[in-house]
Amino acid sequence: MTTKKILNKICATVIIIIIAIILYNVIGGYRIKYDIENNGKMTIGKYVSQGIIYVLLITISYVFLYPLFSMISLAFMSPTDIINPEIDWIPQSLYFGNFKVSIVVLDGYKALFNSFWFSGFLAVAQTVVSAMTGYAFARYDFKFKKLLFTLILVSFIIPVPLILIPRIMMIVWAQGALDTVLLGTVIPQFTMALLGQGVNSAILILIFFNFFKMIPSVLYEAAKIDGASAMEQFWHITIKMSFSTIVVVFLFSFVWNWNETYVTDILIGESIELLPSQLRIFNSIFDNRAPEIPGQGGEARISEAYKMAATLLTMIPLFVIYFIAQKQFVEGIEKTGITGE
């Protein structure tokens, strides 16, 4: 290994360590608590515990961040940098050609638009249904309540393929009964989302259930005395107090539906081009669209840099959404009781 490659790895390691330390101190990891009885000085035990936590955090961060930095580095490497044995991490210059190729291969703009509206509609449907279901279990008593709630939780434990088989049988039966085509369209997945059977709907219902249980019952009793109907109580008390929780559930649902390819590919197939689905079959798409790649003359050869650039393009929208709704997301996580506290 050359000196330059060693320096590149050292730089990458230092960067990861710095990020780990920033996460440790800023995002809410272990915070130093001064002992008033010791005049604000840290004891030896606290130094040791802090050091152990730093080591664990840096190790875990390295395991998770190393592949991410490797992907980002490779995505910005030119063909010359890739075959240069002297370059391992840091490219000589930022090269955006890989992203141009990836956009052509993935049909990026169309696939991005399709992914947004598809995941967005499913997330809205799941959020609304999960909120109403969680509210019903949290505020009302009815027959077989415990049994139904248990079945909802069990549905999350059962492997997806086992649940998907009877669903496909029902869809095929519905196609015959309605004399229409359902498989290969978005209708089955939207229907499942509206019936509380979307991607990880059980978790979303549980999040709402935990939060709604924390709302004081006296608020509903006071509203009932004032003549508010059940729907008015749900809207003016429950919904208006749970905005941050709704944001959390929506983001969870959006990300899960965005990344879901197994069920989507079976139920929808190739009728809609979605970024994650396109990424899964990147190699075959690349061969078909090689003549369309600019500057390659129809003889383009697939490269790992193209794949990494395509993967990064698929991840960027999720990062953008998170940073936009970061404040509400953190507040919702603290309120929903899913922090383990």
pLDDT at 85: 72
pLDDT at 297: 44
pLDDT interval class at 247 (50, 70, 90): confident
Residue with tokens 């009964």: 177
Q: Enter the DSSP assignment of 180.
A: S
Give a yes or no: residue 228 inside a domain: yes
Give a yes or no: residue 201 inside a domain: yes
pLDDT interval class at 281 (50, 70, 90): confident
Domain termination site, one of 95, 120, 136? 95
Q: Is the pLDDT of residue 7 over 70?
A: no
The rounded distance, in Å, linking the Cα atoms of 250 and 302 is 36
pLDDT interval class at 337 (50, 70, 90): low
Task: Say which residue, 315 or 289, is predicted with more confidence.
Answer: 315
pLDDT at 121: 92
pLDDT digits (tens, 9 = 90+) for 76-86: 888 777 777 77
Task: Say which residue, 122 or 273, is predicted with more confidence.
Answer: 122
Pair (128, 265) in one structural domain: yes
pLDDT interval class at 254 (50, 70, 90): very high
pLDDT interval class at 55 (50, 70, 90): confident
Domain termination site, one of 37, 66, 95? 95
Look up the CATH number of the domain holding residue 113. 1.10.3720.10
pLDDT at 341: 39
pLDDT interval class at 29 (50, 70, 90): very low
Pair (174, 263) in one structural domain: yes
State which H helix or E strand residue 149 sits in: helix 145-157
pLDDT interval class at 153 (50, 70, 90): confident
pLDDT digits (tens, 9 = 90+) for 161-191: 788 888 888 888 888 888 888 888 888 889 8
Give a yes or no: residue 264 inside a domain: yes
Pair (239, 274) in one structural domain: yes
Domain termination site, one of 46, 71, 95? 95
268 closest CA partner among 197, 340, 168 = 168
Handedness of CA 127, 235, 337, 208 (dihedral sign): negative
Q: pTM for the whole thing?
A: 0.75
Task: Say which residue, 205 or 93, is predicted with more confidence.
Answer: 205
- Note down the domain range covering 82: 3-95
Over residues 271-279, the mean pLDDT reads 82
One-letter-per-residue 3-state SS of 64-131: HHHHHHHHHHHHCCCHHHHHCCCCCCCCCCCCCHHHHHHHHHHCHHHHHHHHHHHHHHHHHHHHHHHH
